[in-house]
Amino acid sequence: MTEKHEAVVVTREDIIRILVAWQAGELGAKEVHAWAEDRYATSNFEIEEEDEVAQEVLSNLDCLDVNLTTLEDVPTFLEMLRLPKDQVEKALVLLREYSNSVDMKERMRRYANDPFYGRFCGT
């Protein structure tokens, strides 16, 4: 007989806690990435109430190394997560507008020698 395990629910508050810890220097990018990677798109975890905004932020954290997501991006993620759950479109517009404002060439240059991000900076 196979034992069925219930998935652990990831909430906005969980993600906010991780982001705030990153801002405070209690976690580094590598630890945030590992936390998200363990929870995103796995059968052991699920997003609370099909929360599309939490899903989007967790997705970004899951691939933060590849996408060069840094501490600079955290305020936008926090703003998205603090919006009411029925304001999905506003949150996604906020992310899109912010993402379009980021100078990725400059970010790639700045993080080219970083041990965590450097391999994704095309050097």
pLDDT, tens digit, 9 for 90 and up, residues 11-20? 999 999 999 9
Whether residue 3 is predicted with pLDDT greater than 60 in this model: the reply is no
Within 8 A by CB and 6+ apart from 15, the residues are 54, 57, 58, 61, 77, 81
Predicted pLDDT of residue 69: 97
Nearest to 121 by CA among 70, 67, 64, 60: 67
Whether residue 92 is predicted with pLDDT greater than 80 in this model: the reply is yes
DSSP 8: E
Structure tokens at 88: 């999905």
Residue with token string 């700045």: 110
Predicted pLDDT of residue 103: 96
Domain boundaries, given as residue ranges, for the chain: 8-120
Integer Cα distance of 106 and 27 in angstroms = 24
Predicted pLDDT of residue 1: 45
Cβ–Cβ contacts within 10 Å for residue 29, how many? 19
Question: Is the pTM for the entire model greater than 0.85?
Answer: yes
Which tens digits make up the pLDDT trace of 22-78? 999 999 999 999 999 988 877 777 777 778 999 999 999 999 999 999 999 999 999
Predicted pLDDT of residue 123: 56
**Mean pLDDT for the chain?**
91
Share of the chain above pLDDT 70, in %: 95
Nearest to 12 by CA among 20, 3, 23: 20
